[in-house]
Chains A and B, each alone.
Chain A
Amino acid sequence: SQKIEQNSEALNIQEGKTATLTCNYTNYSPAYLQWYRQDPGRGPVFLLLIRENEKEKRKERLKVTFDTTLKQSLFHITASQPADSATYLCALGNTGKLIFGQGTTLQVKP
Protein backbone atom coordinates (compact mmCIF):
# COMPACT_ATOMS: atom_id res chain seq x y z
CA SER A 1 0.00 0.00 0.00
CA GLN A 2 1.02 3.64 -0.41
CA LYS A 3 3.21 4.94 2.36
CA ILE A 4 4.57 8.39 3.15
CA GLU A 5 7.22 8.86 5.82
CA GLN A 6 8.29 12.08 7.43
CA ASN A 7 10.70 12.54 10.33
CA SER A 8 8.64 11.28 13.24
CA GLU A 9 10.73 13.05 15.83
CA ALA A 10 10.64 16.80 16.28
CA LEU A 11 13.42 18.78 14.68
CA ASN A 12 15.07 21.33 16.95
CA ILE A 13 17.39 23.92 15.45
CA GLN A 14 18.92 27.24 16.35
CA GLU A 15 17.64 30.47 14.87
CA GLY A 16 19.49 31.42 11.71
CA LYS A 17 20.31 27.84 10.72
CA THR A 18 18.82 25.95 7.80
CA ALA A 19 16.12 23.44 8.63
CA THR A 20 15.82 20.40 6.37
CA LEU A 21 12.75 18.20 6.48
CA THR A 22 12.43 14.89 4.64
CA CYS A 23 9.50 13.23 2.95
CA ASN A 24 9.94 9.69 1.62
CA TYR A 25 7.31 7.64 -0.11
CA THR A 26 6.81 4.10 -1.42
CA ASN A 27 4.38 2.29 -3.69
CA TYR A 28 3.25 5.53 -5.30
CA SER A 29 3.98 7.60 -8.40
CA PRO A 30 2.82 11.11 -7.64
CA ALA A 31 2.33 13.68 -10.36
CA TYR A 32 3.06 16.43 -7.87
CA LEU A 33 3.97 17.04 -4.26
CA GLN A 34 2.88 19.81 -1.94
CA TRP A 35 4.15 21.09 1.39
CA TYR A 36 1.85 22.56 4.01
CA ARG A 37 2.40 24.25 7.35
CA GLN A 38 0.10 23.57 10.28
CA ASP A 39 0.02 25.54 13.52
CA PRO A 40 -1.66 24.14 16.66
CA GLY A 41 -5.44 24.40 16.50
CA ARG A 42 -5.46 25.49 12.87
CA GLY A 43 -5.89 23.98 9.45
CA PRO A 44 -2.92 23.32 7.16
CA VAL A 45 -1.72 26.22 5.02
CA PHE A 46 -0.24 25.64 1.57
CA LEU A 47 3.41 26.56 1.06
CA LEU A 48 4.79 25.09 -2.16
CA LEU A 49 3.92 22.72 -5.00
CA ILE A 50 6.46 20.86 -7.12
CA ARG A 51 5.62 18.66 -10.10
CA GLU A 52 7.23 15.36 -11.05
CA ASN A 53 9.18 16.93 -13.91
CA GLU A 54 10.64 19.64 -11.67
CA LYS A 55 13.75 19.14 -9.60
CA GLU A 56 13.61 22.21 -7.41
CA LYS A 57 11.27 25.03 -6.43
CA ARG A 58 12.00 28.14 -4.39
CA LYS A 59 9.88 30.72 -2.62
CA GLU A 60 11.58 33.31 -0.49
CA ARG A 61 13.41 31.37 2.28
CA LEU A 62 11.83 28.06 1.26
CA LYS A 63 13.24 25.48 -1.12
CA VAL A 64 11.80 22.13 -2.14
CA THR A 65 13.47 19.36 -4.09
CA PHE A 66 11.76 16.36 -5.63
CA ASP A 67 13.65 13.22 -6.63
CA THR A 68 11.30 10.68 -8.22
CA THR A 69 14.11 8.14 -8.49
CA LEU A 70 14.84 8.22 -4.77
CA LYS A 71 11.14 8.79 -4.07
CA GLN A 72 12.04 11.64 -1.81
CA SER A 73 11.37 15.33 -1.28
CA LEU A 74 13.47 17.65 0.85
CA PHE A 75 12.07 20.86 2.29
CA HIS A 76 14.52 23.54 3.37
CA ILE A 77 13.96 26.70 5.38
CA THR A 78 16.99 28.96 5.30
CA ALA A 79 17.76 31.57 7.95
CA SER A 80 15.14 29.97 10.18
CA GLN A 81 13.23 32.08 12.69
CA PRO A 82 11.26 31.18 15.83
CA ALA A 83 8.12 32.09 13.85
CA ASP A 84 8.88 29.13 11.56
CA SER A 85 8.11 26.76 14.44
CA ALA A 86 5.19 24.60 13.33
CA THR A 87 4.35 21.17 11.94
CA TYR A 88 5.14 20.69 8.26
CA LEU A 89 3.17 18.22 6.17
CA CYS A 90 4.08 16.81 2.79
CA ALA A 91 1.28 15.66 0.53
CA LEU A 92 1.44 13.61 -2.66
CA GLY A 93 -1.10 13.91 -5.42
CA ASN A 94 -1.94 12.15 -8.64
CA THR A 95 -5.55 11.59 -9.57
CA GLY A 96 -6.92 14.65 -7.86
CA LYS A 97 -6.65 13.73 -4.23
CA LEU A 98 -3.81 14.31 -1.82
CA ILE A 99 -2.26 11.77 0.51
CA PHE A 100 -0.64 13.44 3.52
CA GLY A 101 2.33 12.41 5.60
CA GLN A 102 2.13 12.50 9.39
CA GLY A 103 4.13 15.71 9.51
CA THR A 104 7.34 16.83 11.17
CA THR A 105 7.33 19.32 14.03
CA LEU A 106 9.99 22.00 13.74
CA GLN A 107 11.08 24.01 16.75
CA VAL A 108 13.37 26.98 16.10
CA LYS A 109 15.04 28.28 19.23
CA PRO A 110 16.18 31.89 19.58
Chain B
Amino acid sequence: DAGVIQSPRHEVTEMGQEVTLRCKPISGHDYLFWYRQTMMRGLELLIYFNNNVPIDDSGMPEDRFSAKMPNASFSTLKIQPSEPRDSAVYFCASSTGTTDTQYFGPGTRLTVL
Protein backbone atom coordinates (compact mmCIF):
# COMPACT_ATOMS: atom_id res chain seq x y z
CA ASP B 1 0.00 0.00 0.00
CA ALA B 2 1.21 3.50 -0.77
CA GLY B 3 0.29 4.81 2.63
CA VAL B 4 -1.65 7.99 3.29
CA ILE B 5 -1.29 10.39 0.39
CA GLN B 6 -1.52 14.14 0.78
CA SER B 7 -1.40 16.91 -1.79
CA PRO B 8 0.03 19.36 -2.32
CA ARG B 9 3.21 18.87 -0.29
CA HIS B 10 3.84 22.59 -0.19
CA GLU B 11 1.45 25.47 -0.66
CA VAL B 12 2.28 29.15 -0.64
CA THR B 13 -0.61 31.55 -0.92
CA GLU B 14 -1.56 35.08 -0.11
CA MET B 15 -3.82 36.19 2.68
CA GLY B 16 -7.46 36.05 1.70
CA GLN B 17 -7.08 33.24 -0.82
CA GLU B 18 -8.86 29.91 -0.59
CA VAL B 19 -6.70 26.89 0.17
CA THR B 20 -7.71 23.27 -0.34
CA LEU B 21 -5.69 20.41 1.08
CA ARG B 22 -6.32 16.86 -0.06
CA CYS B 23 -5.94 13.45 1.51
CA LYS B 24 -6.29 9.86 0.38
CA PRO B 25 -6.38 7.46 3.34
CA ILE B 26 -5.10 3.90 3.34
CA SER B 27 -7.60 1.58 1.68
CA GLY B 28 -9.76 -0.19 4.25
CA HIS B 29 -9.23 2.37 6.98
CA ASP B 30 -12.53 3.79 8.19
CA TYR B 31 -11.18 6.56 10.40
CA LEU B 32 -9.62 9.72 8.99
CA PHE B 33 -8.04 12.50 11.04
CA TRP B 34 -6.85 16.01 10.15
CA TYR B 35 -4.14 17.58 12.31
CA ARG B 36 -2.25 20.85 12.33
CA GLN B 37 1.30 21.16 13.65
CA THR B 38 3.08 24.35 14.67
CA MET B 39 6.07 25.04 16.86
CA MET B 40 3.95 26.94 19.34
CA ARG B 41 0.98 24.60 19.67
CA GLY B 42 2.40 21.24 18.62
CA LEU B 43 0.19 18.67 16.91
CA GLU B 44 -3.50 19.49 17.24
CA LEU B 45 -6.46 17.44 16.11
CA LEU B 46 -8.80 19.50 13.94
CA ILE B 47 -11.48 16.99 12.97
CA TYR B 48 -11.99 13.28 12.49
CA PHE B 49 -14.33 11.13 10.42
CA ASN B 50 -15.66 7.62 10.82
CA ASN B 51 -17.09 5.98 7.72
CA ASN B 52 -17.06 9.36 5.98
CA VAL B 53 -19.12 11.03 8.73
CA PRO B 54 -17.60 13.84 10.82
CA ILE B 55 -17.52 12.70 14.45
CA ASP B 56 -15.70 15.48 16.26
CA ASP B 57 -14.88 18.87 14.79
CA SER B 58 -14.27 20.64 18.08
CA GLY B 59 -10.68 21.32 17.09
CA MET B 60 -11.56 23.29 13.98
CA PRO B 61 -10.34 26.79 14.85
CA GLU B 62 -13.14 28.81 13.26
CA ASP B 63 -15.68 29.00 10.48
CA ARG B 64 -12.98 29.68 7.94
CA PHE B 65 -12.05 26.00 8.18
CA SER B 66 -14.17 23.24 6.70
CA ALA B 67 -13.58 19.56 5.98
CA LYS B 68 -15.40 17.04 3.85
CA MET B 69 -15.15 13.36 3.12
CA PRO B 70 -17.33 12.62 0.09
CA ASN B 71 -16.20 8.98 -0.07
CA ALA B 72 -13.98 6.47 1.69
CA SER B 73 -10.93 7.32 -0.37
CA PHE B 74 -10.87 11.10 -0.34
CA SER B 75 -11.05 14.02 2.07
CA THR B 76 -10.45 17.75 1.80
CA LEU B 77 -9.63 20.47 4.29
CA LYS B 78 -10.50 23.93 3.08
CA ILE B 79 -9.50 27.31 4.49
CA GLN B 80 -11.39 30.31 3.18
CA PRO B 81 -10.21 33.01 3.52
CA SER B 82 -6.68 32.09 4.58
CA GLU B 83 -4.71 34.17 7.09
CA PRO B 84 -0.97 34.26 7.96
CA ARG B 85 -1.68 32.58 11.31
CA ASP B 86 -2.91 29.53 9.40
CA SER B 87 0.67 28.83 8.32
CA ALA B 88 1.53 25.36 9.61
CA VAL B 89 2.04 21.77 8.54
CA TYR B 90 -1.26 19.97 8.05
CA PHE B 91 -1.29 16.20 8.46
CA CYS B 92 -3.88 13.66 7.50
CA ALA B 93 -3.92 10.28 9.24
CA SER B 94 -6.04 7.16 8.95
CA SER B 95 -6.69 4.10 11.08
CA THR B 96 -8.91 1.03 11.35
CA GLY B 97 -10.21 1.86 14.83
CA THR B 98 -10.23 4.57 17.41
CA THR B 99 -7.52 3.03 19.55
CA ASP B 100 -5.54 1.65 16.66
CA THR B 101 -2.35 2.88 15.14
CA GLN B 102 -2.76 6.08 13.20
CA TYR B 103 -0.87 6.20 9.93
CA PHE B 104 0.16 9.71 9.03
CA GLY B 105 0.70 11.20 5.61
CA PRO B 106 3.76 13.29 4.75
CA GLY B 107 1.94 16.53 5.49
CA THR B 108 1.25 19.72 3.59
CA ARG B 109 3.37 22.72 4.54
CA LEU B 110 1.15 25.78 4.16
CA THR B 111 2.56 29.28 4.09
CA VAL B 112 0.15 32.20 3.99
CA LEU B 113 1.83 35.49 3.14
CB-CB under 8 A from A49, the residues of chain B are: 99, 101
Within 8 Å of chain A (Cβ to Cβ): is B106?
yes
A89 contacts B by Cβ under 8 Å? yes
We find that the number of chain A residues with CB closer than 8 angstroms to chain B is 21
Given A96-B55, A101-B42, A43 contacting B99 (CB threshold 8 A): no
Nearest-CB distance from A16 to chain B (Å)?
Answer: 29
The residue in chain A whose Cβ has the minimal distance to the Cβ of B50 is: A96
B98 at the interface (CB under 8 A from A): yes
Across the interface, B43 reaches (CB within 8 A) one of A42, A44, A45, A93, namely A44
Residues on A lying within 8 angstroms of B by beta carbon are 31-32, 34, 42-46, 49, 51, 89, 93, 95-103
Binding site for A on B (CB under 8 A): 4, 31, 33, 35, 42-45, 48, 50, 55-56, 91, 93, 98-99, 101-107
- Closest 7 pairs between A and B when the two form their complex, measured CB to CB: A43-B104, A96-B98, A100-B43, A46-B101, A102-B42, A44-B104, A43-B91
